[in-house]
């Protein structure tokens, strides 16, 4: 049905997809997995016409579709869902789906579009009532709507992009079953991209694994999960076991620094954290690992006060900070390096660092702290008069960490420091984390890159769907079946 | 107008007009800076900005004319008063509407505009009033320059330099620049965004106050005086790119020159017509402003 050969996509000098070939047979469900930035979405965008391939061919039902405009590809029978649902809010659920049915099938007839919409809505279990509003839908409902829109275009091949993100466990199972039903009942072939592998592995017929734009493994789910290359990509193999003993020694007798008990948190009606307990002792480096959308960033935001927990307690050195506004939590010694760095792009490096020392107590030590940060990151000193936004990703990450360290914190929160960086730079960033550790700072680090993070932390927690699933020393976590299951679904 | 007449006025009057344009540009740039500051940092447009200036002009009038306070004592008091007014405007009107749709914020400050105009009408009447200070005219060769304009220009420049130093040298000033780039993470730096907004509003008010002290030297005060420079200030800000300080600065001088040179060849009103026509054309060429705000 679909035959992809030698697919390449370059962005400038960066090769996002490198010579990938695969085929999908009629009626099959193919799972497409890989860490962040491995090229999954780029492949999807080329299949659906959003991006034109640099080279390679995509044969769909015998026709070459590489480089065609998206609307022609959709009319040809390839439907797709998007990771982040963007319905037309002013239209009813039915109108949203009918619109997709009308245009997606080449504007045949209104009656046909409405018929398709009704079928699609019934299939995913949304109300077929013509006036039901989009506003009432939760995260799961929006994902269903996304699916219904794709189905209404009467696809022969469905591209499902991260249909599970932001769903709780029951909803995930439901969504996975739905994809299976779509295949079984409508005979639609599916390619499914997902971070959350556990559920995916149960449903798909075959899996293809990408890493750094290349296909590293393909086959039956059970075989792929046992493939050493796949395990290495997701979990790494070379964490030093000696680290564990040292960590245990360090742990004993240290006072408690951060203590979370029974924390629930979320955004509006969407709950992202469920009953989270977590400890960080003084001088420790603790990691929180887990797939995308597991609640890692929310956890960081709750600790630094950017969002308020709906239940539970958060204590910093014995002081409850649940009711403390974020700008005051900083003065208790918590510095948060946010996801994607969030520098002030049009301020100089100097000014960015200056903002890190904004607090009254920190201003007095501004010059001393600047010395400390420049000592740790000599590169920043060279670039001090440069606009932060014009630096490379790795340098920006240095600047973000440096900015956080300007407030002379006791506890450093690092949210995905490796996100969006090239592999070589990722190595450098983890070297930085090691150096910060060595300076005696307590660190809580959230990462998707398990392989790297377990090398630099003493202990780690596994978080999945907003719940802490496992915890232990780095070595224990590496050996843990729960961790393997979370990432590989075995 | 014959060719000869054109040449006659060309050299010396042209130079005079160019210089007068620069002098006018100083005050316009000051007003644009205040408005841009508010927009860039708080993401709100104070439609009633020129009315704050009007209140400041009345304050100057009453202090100088009515109570006989010296001009140089009245000026700092007026700046302080309008700064407080700016902070109050933020606290009472903008802060409750911060998360509201922009149109509501616009309507609310529009409402304040009418309230201030009506207040001034009721309280002070619709008479045109002036300070009664007549500053001399400087003759330089064959050219004449109003001393008031020269003073305004210098004071406006000093005001802008002061703001520049504040914005680049102090922690609070840096925070004001930072907050316009990423407001969500300011709390992680220990910055209380509410406080920064209030300071910014007071600063915006202070700039309006300074402009009032300078404009009152050249113009009569009446409740609708805001209309003579409010709209032009908005045009300048939009032309320069809303929220872009440097763009606003350049646009202010560009506008002032067009008005001044246009007035040279015809009436002053034609200068304004030319300026507005220029604005409309520029909006087609660069819809986001001369220096579009980079995000």
Say yes or no for a CB contact (<8 Å) between A327 and B191.
yes
Element (H, E) at A316: strand A311-316
Structural domain contains residue B292: no
What is the C-alpha to C-alpha distance for residues A416 and A106, in angstroms, rounded to an integer?
43
Instruction: Report the residue from A345, A352, A359 with minimal CB separation from B190.
Output: A359
| pLDDT of A245 | 44
**Nearest CB partner across the interface for B190, out of A344, A351, A407:** A407
- Residue A364: closest CA among chain B residues belongs to which residue? B171
Of A358, A363, A404, the CB nearest to B191: A358
Could you give the C-alpha distances from A481 to A233, A235, A471, A490, in angstroms and in order?
Answer: 16, 11, 12, 8
Flag whether residue B126 sits within 8 Å of chain A, measured between CB atoms: no
Residue B55 lies in a domain: yes
Residue B102 sits in a domain whose CATH number is: 1.10.3470
What is the token pair recorded at B9? 């006025």
Name the nearest CA neighbour of B88 among B71, B67, B112: B112
- Domains of chain A by residue range: 2-235, 242-488
Residue B221 lies in a domain: yes
Report the b/e string of A172-193 with b at 16+ CB within 10 A.
Answer: bebbbebbeebbeeeebbbbbb
CB contact residues (below 8 A), chain A span 375-414, against chain B: 403-404, 407
Min Cα distance B244 → chain A (Å) is 12
Is B178 in CB contact (< 8 Å) with chain A? yes
pLDDT, one tens digit per residue, over A52-88 is: 898 899 998 888 888 888 888 888 888 888 777 777 8
pLDDT of A196 reads: 65
For chain B, the domain total comes to 1
**Domain covering A242-488 in this structure, CATH number:** 3.40.50.300
Contacts of A300 in chain B (CB under 8 A): none
What's domain A2-235's superfamily in CATH?
P-loop containing nucleotide triphosphate hydrolases (3.40.50.300)
| Beta carbons of B171 and A354 less than 8 Å apart | yes
CB contacts of A404 in chain B (<8 Å) are: 188
Contact by Cβ (8 Å): A384, A373: no
How is residue A48 written in tokens? 């659906």
> Is B186 near chain A, with CB under 8 Å?
yes
In a domain, B291, yes or no: no
- Give B28-76 pLDDT, tens digit per residue: 999 999 999 999 899 899 999 999 999 999 999 999 998 999 999 999 9
Mean pLDDT for B268-273 is: 80
Question: Using a CB-CB distance cutoff of 8 angstroms, which residues of chain A are in contact with residue B291?
Answer: none
Using CA atoms, how far residue A357 sits from A174, A195, B51, in Å, is 48, 37, 38
The verdict on residue B203 lying in a domain is yes
Instruction: Say yes or no for a CB contact (<8 Å) between B174 and A354.
Output: yes
Task: Please name the residue of chain A whose CA is at the shortest distance from the CA of residue B189.
Answer: A356
For residue A149, give the H/E element and its range. Answer: helix A139-152
CB-based contacts of A258, cutoff 8 Å, min separation 6? A278, A279, A280, A303, A314, A315, A316, A334, A411, A442, A444
CB-based contact, B175 to chain A, within 8 Å:
yes
Cβ separation A403–B189 shorter than 8 A: yes
In Å, what is the CA distance from A200 to each residue of A141, A143, A217, B176, B278? 19, 16, 16, 47, 61
B128 to each of A155, B59, B171, B220, B225, how far by Cα in Å?
74, 14, 43, 6, 9
Nearest Cβ partner of B174 from A328, A331, A355?
Answer: A355
Report CB contact under 8 Å: A347, B178.
yes
pLDDT at A430: 87
State the Cα–Cα distance between residues B70 and A202, nearest whole angstrom: 85
Q: How far apart (Å, rounded) are the C-alpha atoms in residues A175 and A269?
A: 19
Name which of A306, A335, A351 is nearest B174 (Cβ-Cβ).
A351
Q: What is the pLDDT of residues B165-219, one digit of tens each?
A: 999 999 999 999 999 888 888 999 999 999 999 999 999 999 999 999 999 998 8
Partners of residue B178 in chain A, C-beta under 8 Å: 344, 347, 351-352, 355
- Using an 8 Å CB-CB cutoff, list chain B residues near A362: 190
| B166 burial via Cβ count (<10 Å: 0-12, 13-18, 19+) | middle
Residue of B nearest to A359 (CA): B190
Residue B182 domain-assigned? yes
Question: Which chain A residue has the Cα nearest residue B180?
Answer: A344
Positions of E strands within chain B? 137-140, 143-146
Check: CB of residue A167 under 8 Å from CB of residue A140: yes
Q: Is the pLDDT of residue B117 over 90?
A: yes
Give me the residue from A325, A345, A358 closest to B189, CB to CB.
A358
The alpha carbon of residue A317 is apart from the nearest alpha carbon of chain B, in Å, by: 19
Domains A2-235 and A242-488 belong to one CATH topology: yes
Q: How many CB pairs under 8 A join A and B?
A: 69
pLDDT grade for B295, boundaries at 50, 70 and 90: very low
Residue B294 lies in a domain: no
Distances (CA, A) of B243 to A387, A456, B180, B291: 19, 44, 9, 10
- By residue range, what is the domain housing residue B213? 3-127+136-285
Which residue of A355, A357, A401 to mutate against B (max B Cβ within 10 Å)? A355
B192 vs A contacts (CB less than 8 Å)? 325, 327
Q: Does the distance separating the beta carbons of B294 and A346 come in below 8 Å?
A: yes
Q: Please indicate if any CB of chain B lies within 8 Å of the CB of A3.
A: no
Q: How confident is the model at residue A248, as a pLDDT?
A: 52
CB atoms B190 and A336 under 8 Å: no
Q: Among candidates A452, A488, A457, which has minimal Cα distance to A474?
A: A457
Name the least confident of A59-63, A477-481, B110-114, B121-125. A477-481
Distance from CA of B207 to the nearest CA of A (A): 24
B176: chain A residues, CB-CB within 8 Å? none
CA torsion angle B122 B127 B132 B138 (round to 10): 120
Are B55 and B82 contacting, i.e. CB atoms less than 8 angstroms apart?
yes
B174 touches chain A (CB under 8 A): yes
Residue B225, SS3 per DSSP: coil
A contact residues 289-308, partner B, Cβ 8 Å cutoff: 304-306
Query: Chain A interface, mutation test: which of B186, B190, B192, B241, most A Cβ atoms within 10 Å?
Result: B190
Q: Which residues of chain A have pLDDT under 70?
A: 12-13, 36-37, 106-108, 165-166, 195-196, 234-253, 488-490
Three-class SS of A216-251: EEEECHHHHHHCHHHHHHHHCCCCCCHHHHHHHHHH
Rounded to the nearest angstrom, the gap between the alpha carbon of residue B41 and the centroid of all alpha carbons in its chain is 17
For residue A336, the chain B residue with the least C-alpha distance is B188
């Amino acid at each position: 049905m679909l035959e992809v050969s030698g697919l390449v996509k370059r962005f400038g000098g960066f090769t996002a997809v490198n010579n990938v070939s695969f085929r999908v047979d009629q009626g099959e469900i193919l799972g497409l997995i890989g860490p962040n930035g491995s090229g999954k979405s780029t492949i999807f965008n080329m299949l659906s016409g959003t991006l034109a391939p640099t080279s390679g061919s995509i044969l769909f039902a015998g026709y070459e579709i590489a480089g065609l405009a998206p609307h022609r590809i959709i009319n040809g029978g390839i439907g797709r869902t998007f990771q982040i649902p963007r319905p037309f809010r002013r239209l009813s659920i039915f109108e949203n789906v009918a619109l997709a049915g009308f245009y997606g099938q080449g504007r045949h007839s209104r009656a046909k579009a409405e018929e398709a919409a009704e079928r699609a809505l019934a299939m995913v279990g949304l109300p077929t009532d013509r006036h039901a509003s989009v506003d009432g839908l939760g995260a799961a409902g929006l994902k269903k709507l996304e699916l219904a829109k794709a189905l209404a275009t009467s696809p022969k091949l469905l591209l499902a992009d991260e249909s599970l993100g932001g769903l709780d466990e029951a909803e995930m199972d439901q969504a996975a079953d739905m994809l299976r039903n779509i295949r079984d009942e409508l005979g639609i072939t599916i390619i499914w991209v997902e971070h959350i592998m556990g559920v995916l592995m149960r449903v798909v017929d075959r899996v293809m694994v990408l890493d750094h734009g290349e296909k590293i493994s393909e086959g039956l789910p059970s075989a792929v999960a046992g493939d050493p290359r796949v395990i290495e990509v997701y979990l790494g193999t070379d964490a030093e076991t000696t680290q564990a003993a040292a960590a245990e020694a360090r742990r004993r007798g240290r006072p408690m620094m951060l203590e979370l008990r029974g924390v629930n948190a979320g955004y509006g009606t969407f709950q992202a954290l469920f009953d989270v307990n977590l400890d960080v002792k003084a001088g420790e480096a603790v990691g929180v690992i887990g797939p995308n959308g597991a609640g890692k960033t929310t956890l960081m935001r709750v600790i630094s006060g950017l969002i308020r927990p709906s239940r539970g307690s958060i204590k910093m050195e014995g002081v409850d900070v649940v009711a403390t506004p974020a700008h005051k939590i900083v003065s208790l010694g918590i510095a948060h390096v946010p996801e994607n760095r969030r520098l002030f792009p049009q301020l100089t490096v100097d000014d960015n660092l200056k903002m890190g020392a904004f607090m009254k107590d920190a201003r007095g030590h501004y010059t001393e702290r600047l010395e400390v940060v420049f000592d740790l990151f000599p590169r920043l000193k060279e670039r001090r008069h440069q606009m932060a936004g014009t630096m490379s990703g790795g340098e920006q990450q240095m600047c973000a960490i440096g900015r956080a360290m300007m407030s002379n914190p006791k506890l450093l929160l690092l949210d995905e420091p490796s996100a969006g960086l090239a592999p070589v730079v990722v190595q450098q960033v983890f070297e930085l984390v090691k150096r910060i550790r060595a300076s005696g700072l307590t660190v809580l680090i959230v990462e998707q890159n398990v392989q790297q993070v377990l090398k630099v932390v003493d202990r780690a927690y596994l978080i999945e769907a907003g719940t802490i699933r496992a915890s232990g020393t780095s070595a224990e976590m590496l050996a843990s079946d729960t961790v393997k299951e979370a990432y590989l679904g075995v | 107008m014959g060719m000869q007449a054109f040449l006659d006025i060309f050299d010396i009057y042209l130079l005079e007009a160019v210089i007068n344009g620069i002098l006018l540009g100083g005050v316009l740039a000051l007003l644009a800076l205040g408005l841009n500051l508010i927009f860039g940092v708080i993401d709100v447009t104070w439609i009633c900005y020129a009315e704050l200036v009007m209140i400041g002009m009345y304050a100057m009038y009453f202090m100088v004319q009515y109570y006989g306070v010296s001009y140089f004592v009245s000026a700092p008091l007026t700046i302080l008063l309008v700064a407080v007014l700016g902070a109050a405007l933020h606290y009472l009107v903008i802060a409750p509407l911060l998360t509201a749709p922009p149109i509501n914020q616009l309507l609310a400050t529009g409402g304040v505009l009418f309230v201030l105009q009506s207040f001034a009408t009721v309280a002070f009447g619709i008479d045109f009033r002036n300070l009664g200070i007549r500053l001399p005219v400087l003759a330089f060769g064959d050219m004449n320059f109003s001393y008031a304009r020269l003073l305004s220009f210098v004071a406006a420049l000093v005001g802008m330099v002061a703001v520049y130093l504040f914005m680049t040298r102090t922690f609070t000033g840096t925070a004001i620049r930072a907050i316009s780039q990423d407001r969500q993470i300011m709390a992680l730096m220990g910055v209380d965004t509410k406080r920064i907004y209030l300071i910014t509003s007071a600063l915006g008010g202070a700039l309006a106050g300074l402009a009032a002290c300078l404009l009152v030297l050249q113009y009569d005060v009446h409740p609708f005086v805001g209309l003579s420079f409010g709209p032009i200030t908005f045009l300048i800000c939009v032309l320069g790119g809303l929220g872009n300080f440097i763009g606003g600065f350049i646009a202010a001088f560009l506008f002032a020159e067009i008005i001044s040179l246009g007035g040279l060849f015809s009436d002053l009103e034609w200068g304004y017509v030319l300026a507005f026509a220029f604005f409309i054309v520029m909006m087609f060429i660069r819809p986001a402003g001369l220096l579009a705000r980079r995000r």
